[in-house]
C-alpha cells in the first residue's frame, strides 16, 4: 500500500496556518476595559479614571435671603376718596366763576356761583321759619313772665311751650335745607347767589363751566377736583398666582413713558372676586405721587416683591428635565451621583429657587450634569 504524499506546493500555506495557530495560543488574552460609569437605580457611579470627572462641576447648596418677584400690567387710577366730580345740587345759571385749571382747593374754596330758583325758595323758607320761631320764643317768654307774676295760666304756658317746640323744629329743618347747598345760614341774605364749593383738598383738573350757562339739576359734572399726591395702580394678577400677593407687600412701578424711573408702592387691597373672562384678580397698589409722574389712565408695569424669606437657589444649569419633571444630581458621601426630583419656584438672574427636594449643605452637580444622562 502506497502512502499519499502532500504536494510540495501546499507546504508553505500549511506551515503558515500552524505558526499562526501556535502564536494565538501562546499570546495572553487582552484585558477588559472597565466602563466610565455604571447605573444602578437612580445612582450613577463614575470610575476614577474617567475623563467625565473633569467635566462635572459641583457646589454645596446654602440658604440665603430671597424676595420673590412677579410682573404684571397695571393702570393708574385716582383714589375715589380723593377725587370729586362737581355738579350743582340744583339747577341754575352761572353768574360767576373762580375756576382755573391747576387751582389748589380746600373744602372751603368757592368754585363758581349760580342763580338758583331752588336756592332762593330755600332762603324764603329759612327766613320765614326763623321769624316764626322768634315769635314763638317771645310768646313763650311772655307767658313765663305772666306765670311768675301770678296773672298767667298753666294752660297758656303749655300751649306757648308746644308752639315754640314746633317752630323750633321747623326752623332746624329749614337750616338743613340751606346747608344742603353748603351755604352758611348765619351769613345768609335773601336773594344771594348759590356758591358751589370744592368738596375736598386737591386741585382742579377739569373745568367745563362757562359764564352765563344754565346748568340743569340732572346735568353731568362741570368740573373735577382731585388730590393726586397719592394714586392707586390697578394690577391684574392671575388666579394661580394670587396666593403670593398679600396686603402691604412692596411693589415697584415702572413707567413706559419715563424709562428708568421706578416708583415704590404697597399693596392696598386684594379683590375678593375673580374676573371670569380674564381669570385674574384686581390688586390695588397705593403709590406716592408727589411729583405727579403717575397720571390717571396711564399704563405701567408692576413688579410685586414678596417679603424676604430664606431659600435655596441653584444655577439654572444644575436643573435637568425629563418627562415634564425637574431634577438635579446630588453627590453622595461616597462620591456617587443620585438623581433626585426637585420642585422649582421663581428665578432671579441665572439662578432658580428650589422649593423642595434639596436641603442646606447638600452637594450637587452645578454644571455638566447632562453628561450623566448617558449612563446606562
Q: How far apart are CA 340 and CA 327, in angstroms?
A: 5
Measured over the CA atoms of residue 156, residue 158, residue 164 and residue 166, the dihedral's sign is negative
Domain ranges of the chain: 43-67+310-374, 83-224, 227-306
| Residue 308 pLDDT | 67
Residue ranges in the chain modelled with pLDDT below 50: 1-34, 376
- Class of residue 101 by CB neighbours under 10 A (exposed 0-12, middle 13-18, buried 19+): exposed
Phi, psi of 298 (to 5 degrees): -75, 145
CATH number for 83-224 (one of 2.70.150.10, 3.30.365.10, 3.90.79.10, 2.40.50.100): it is 2.40.50.100
Instruction: Indicate yes or no: pTM above 0.85.
Output: no
What is the DSSP code string of 196-209? Answer: EE-SSSEEEEEE--
At residue 3, the pLDDT reads: 37
| pLDDT given at position 307 | 63
pLDDT at 375 (0 to 100): 64
In whole angstroms, what is the distance from residue 327 CA to residue 341 CA? 4
Confidence (pLDDT) at 190: 86
| Superfamily the domain 227-306 falls into | Efflux pump adaptor protein, beta barrel domain (2.40.30.170)
DSSP string for 205-240: EEE---TTPEEPTT---SEEEE--SEEEEEEEEETT
Q: Indicate the class that CATH gives domain 43-67+310-374.
A: mainly beta
Amino acid at each position: 500500500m502506497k502512502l499519499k504524499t502532500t504536494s510540495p506546493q501546499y507546504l508553505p500555506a500549511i506551515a503558515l496556518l500552524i505558526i499562526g495557530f501556535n502564536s494565538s495560543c501562546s499570546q495572553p488574552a487582552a484585558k477588559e476595559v472597565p466602563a466610565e460609569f455604571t447605573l444602578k437605580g437612580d445612582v450613577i457611579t463614575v470610575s476614577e479614571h474617567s475623563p467625565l470627572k473633569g467635566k462635572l462641576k459641583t457646589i454645596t447648596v446654602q440658604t440665603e435671603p430671597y424676595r420673590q418677584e412677579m410682573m404684571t400690567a397695571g393702570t393708574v387710577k385716582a383714589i375715589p376718596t380723593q377725587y370729586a366730580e362737581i355738579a350743582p345740587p340744583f339747577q341754575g345759571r352761572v353768574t360767576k366763576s373762580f375756576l382755573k385749571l391747576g387751582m389748589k382747593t380746600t373744602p372751603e374754596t368757592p368754585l363758581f356761583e349760580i342763580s338758583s330758583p331752588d336756592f332762593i325758595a330755600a332762603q324764603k323758607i329759612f327766613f320765614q321759619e326763623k321769624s316764626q320761631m322768634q315769635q314763638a320764643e317771645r310768646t313763650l317768654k311772655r307767658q313765663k313772665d305772666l306765670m311768675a307774676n301770678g296773672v298767667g295760666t298753666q294752660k297758656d304756658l303749655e300751649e306757648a311751650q308746644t308752639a315754640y317746640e314746633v317752630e323750633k323744629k321747623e326752623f332746624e329743618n329749614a337750616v338743613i335745607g340751606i346747608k344742603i347747598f353748603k351755604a352758611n345760614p348765619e351769613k345768609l341774605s335773601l336773594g344771594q347767589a348759590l356758591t358751589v364749593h370744592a368738596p375736598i383738598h386737591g386741585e382742579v383738573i377739569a373745568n367745563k363751566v362757562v359764564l352765563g350757562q344754565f346748568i340743569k339739576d340732572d346735568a353731568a359734572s362741570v368740573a373735577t377736583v382731585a388730590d393726586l399726591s397719592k394714586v392707586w395702580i390697578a394690577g391684574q394678577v392671575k388666579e394661580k398666582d394670587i396666593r403670593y400677593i398679600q396686603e402691604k407687600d412692596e411693589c415697584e412701578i415702572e413707567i413706559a413713558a419715563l424709562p428708568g424711573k421706578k416708583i415704590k408702592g404697597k399693596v392696598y387691597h386684594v379683590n375678593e372676586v375673580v374676573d371670569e373672562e380674564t381669570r385674574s384678580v384686581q390688586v390695588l397698589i397705593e403709590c406716592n405721587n408727589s411729583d405727579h409722574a403717575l397720571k390717571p389712565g396711564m399704563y405701567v408695569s408692576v413688579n410685586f416683591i414678596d417679603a424676604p424669606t430664606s431659600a435655596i437657589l441653584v444655577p439654572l444649569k444644575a436643573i435637568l428635565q425629563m418627562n415634564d419633571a425637574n431634577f438635579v444630581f446630588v453627590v453622595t458621601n461616597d462620591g456617587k451621583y443620585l438623581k433626585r426630583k426637585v420642585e422649582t419656584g421663581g428665578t432671579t438672574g441665572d439662578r432658580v429657587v428650589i422649593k423642595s427636594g434639596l436641603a442646606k449643605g447638600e452637594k450637587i452637580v452645578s454644571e455638566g450634569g447632562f453628561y450623566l444622562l448617558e449612563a446606562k
